[in-house]
Chains A and B, each alone.
Chain A
Amino acid sequence: MAGYRPARSGVLETMADFYDRRTREVAKLGREAEAAAHKAYGDALRSGTDLVLRTQEEVNRFGAKLLDDRKPVVRRSPQPARPPRTAGGGQAPRVKVDLNRNPVVKAVAGDLAEKVGNAAGVVRGGVLAVEGLAEGAVFLQRLTNPLDVLVSPPGQSAAGQLLGAASQGVDYVRRGVADPQIVIRDVRDKAHQMRVDLDPTATPAARTVSEEVQRRLNIGMNQGELAFDVGSFAVGGPLAKSVKGLGAVSKASKAEKYLAQGFTPAEAAHLAEPYPKRGMGHHFGPRRAGLPRSYSESVFNRLKPEGITRGDMYELHYKVDPEFKGTGFPARVGGGRWSGADLGLKKYGMAGRIWHGSPAPLKARVVGLGGGAGAVAHGMMDEEESW
């Protein structure tokens, strides 16, 4: 009977059946935990009770605890110890196998939980993106409503929140300049948290299978959500990133990228800030071509993705614009220069310039005509692919 294990009902099952059953159980556990947490959250809202669940992990943990609390407690009478059989017809000595602590079962179940979590995380990423869109639409509506300032509490109007966000950005750079260790500490903390959230090897395996399943499910969901974010970034471009409010890609993780590129903490903090509204961006049809200003400065010609950081905009600008080599840093972050060549960046060829250098509205609406015009404009003025 090797390879068969008793299922909960007592019927023998193959390892394949066992894996399938565990997969179903893990998926069910995740769904039930999340549903239980959401129900409790809804009840708390209705009753006015304080219930703070900041992250999906907190939601899952809270839900799992609720499920545990709901399980009926089964009291068993102590089992009498059976005497071992002897070779002469007696009971054979048995090695007690505790499946809940078996490392192989734990690993297998953990892997399955992670995969299930991946799928659930992708869905969660999509839901959050849609929520972000809805919130963005409401925010935009409030921002354009002149009465919003009057009917909102002090500092809570849409305009007030926008100003607050801007001043936070200023504060971050100011603090980064005054104390570079702040940026390094933020980056280190964020990097550590990301590793804990995403890498199963960053934290020790749990003691039991059920705890390990929960741990790997959370990690899998984090991975899945990240995959959605990265995927939506690739498909939807910076727009998809911006509607999610930059939540997934934090300031600190961006600063980490720029620190890794060799910039000082003050420069990294400066590059991690959103590209300024007054920034010129990249003109798909070059300004020097003498295009009508109404077109040249419109969203159809000016590439300045919403929510992009200053550093990412410089990189994008370098790659798509044959005439952009680099720029300087303000004196208050120490001066110095940002150079695409110093970073080893490559300029796009013609096709890359057309695709990556054209603003999303142009791509979406007049991709054929606009792309062709831009290609002709740049192609006639510049034959080289890289500097």
Chain B
Amino acid sequence: MSVRQWAEFRTELPYDAIEDEIDFVEFPGRSVTEAIAAMLASLGYDVSAPIHAGEHGWELDVRANGRRFWLQITRIEEHDCYLTTQDMTWRIWRLQPSFEEFLTQLNKALRADGRFSQIGWFRDRKDETRAPHPVEAS
């Protein structure tokens, strides 16, 4: 199986940047991150509070059964978002849930939520093919 761990999507959640007269105080994306955190929590994952990461946007630390996944959500324009995911688990043998399973669940939850649309998954940074699913048979 090959994994597509980068995604782009659109959101209808309100744009939520906090700015002063110079720059962002908080970059946009908190509400999107909170929505994704709630989705994953409802799936049984232990999810951190949204972590502000400057121009990167927002991050989430997700854990389940000794596994650790990392998510970065960058709201790059009013409706457009980037999602980056990584399997942060140090492992010798395969643990459940697998990264593939995690991504599949995440994709399904995103698609089921009407606030998110046009979800496309990418294999790597050079990949311009946009797939509807993060996991595919290689």
Q: CB within 8 Å of B: which residues of A? A: 169-170, 173-174, 270, 273, 276, 279-281, 287-289, 310, 314, 317, 322-328, 330-332, 335-337, 339, 347, 381, 383-387
CB distance from A52 to the nearest CB of B (A): 33
Residue B78 lies at the interface, judged by CB distance under 8 Å to chain A: yes
Pair A276/B55 contact, Cβ less than 8 Å: no
In the docked arrangement, what's the CA distance between A288 and B89, Å?
Answer: 11
Q: Of residues A288, A317, A332, which shows the largest number of chain B Cβ atoms within 10 Å of its Cβ?
A: A288
Which chain A positions have C-beta within 8 A of B100?
A: none
Q: Is the CB of B74 within 8 A of A335?
A: no
Q: Given the known A-B contacts A328-B76, A328-B77, are A386 and B23 also in contact in the complex, defined by CB atoms under 8 Å? A: no
- Find out whether the CB atom of A327 lies under 8 angstroms from the CB atom of B22: no
Residue of B nearest to A290 (CB): B88
Residue of A nearest to B29 (CB): A328
Q: Is the CB of B53 within 8 A of A276?
A: no
Find out whether the CB atom of B125 lies under 8 angstroms from the CB atom of A337.
Answer: no
Min CB gap A376→B, angstroms: 12
Q: How far is the CA of A135 from the CA of B24 in the complex (A)?
A: 32
Residues of B near A387 (CB, < 8 A) are 6, 124-126
Contact with B21, one of A170, A281, A310, A323 (Cβ below 8 angstroms): A170
| Contact count band on B | 20 to 34
Asked whether A326 and B19 contact (CB < 8 A) given A288-B70, A386-B125, the answer is no
Q: Which residues in A have their C-beta under 8 angstroms from that of B86?
A: 288, 381
Contact (A280, B54) CB under 8 Å given A173-B22, A328-B17, A331-B19 = yes
The answer to whether B84 and A323 have CB atoms under 8 Å apart is yes
B82 CB–A CB distance under 8 Å? yes
Report B's interface with A, CB cutoff 8 A: 6, 15, 17, 19, 21-24, 27-28, 53-57, 59, 61, 70, 72, 74-78, 80, 82, 84, 86, 88, 124-126
Give which listed residue, A328, A339, A381, contacts B27 with CB less than 8 A: A328
Q: How far is the CA of A104 from the CA of B132 in the complex (A)?
A: 71
User: What's the nearest-Cβ distance from chain A to residue B75, in Å?
Assistant: 7
- In the bound assembly, the distance between CA atoms of A190 and B70 in angstroms comes to 46
Interchain CB contact under 8 A, A170 and B22: yes
A325/B74 in contact, CB under 8 A: yes
Whether B54 contacts A337 by the Cβ 8 Å rule is no
Q: Which of the residues B23, B80, B126 comes within 8 Å of A384, measured between beta carbons?
A: B126
Within the complex, which residue of B22, B61, B78, B82 is in contact with A335, where a contact is CB–CB below 8 Å?
Answer: B78
Residues of B within 8 A of A173 (CB): 22
State the Cβ distance, A311 to closest chain B Cβ, in Å. Answer: 12
Closest chain B residue, CB of each to CB of A322? B125
**Given A273-B22, A328-B76, 12 new contacts (CB under 8 A):** A279-B55, A287-B59, A288-B61, A288-B86, A325-B74, A326-B76, A327-B57, A331-B15, A336-B77, A383-B124, A387-B125, A387-B126
Residues of chain A contacted by B55 (CB below 8 angstroms): 279-280, 314, 317, 324, 327
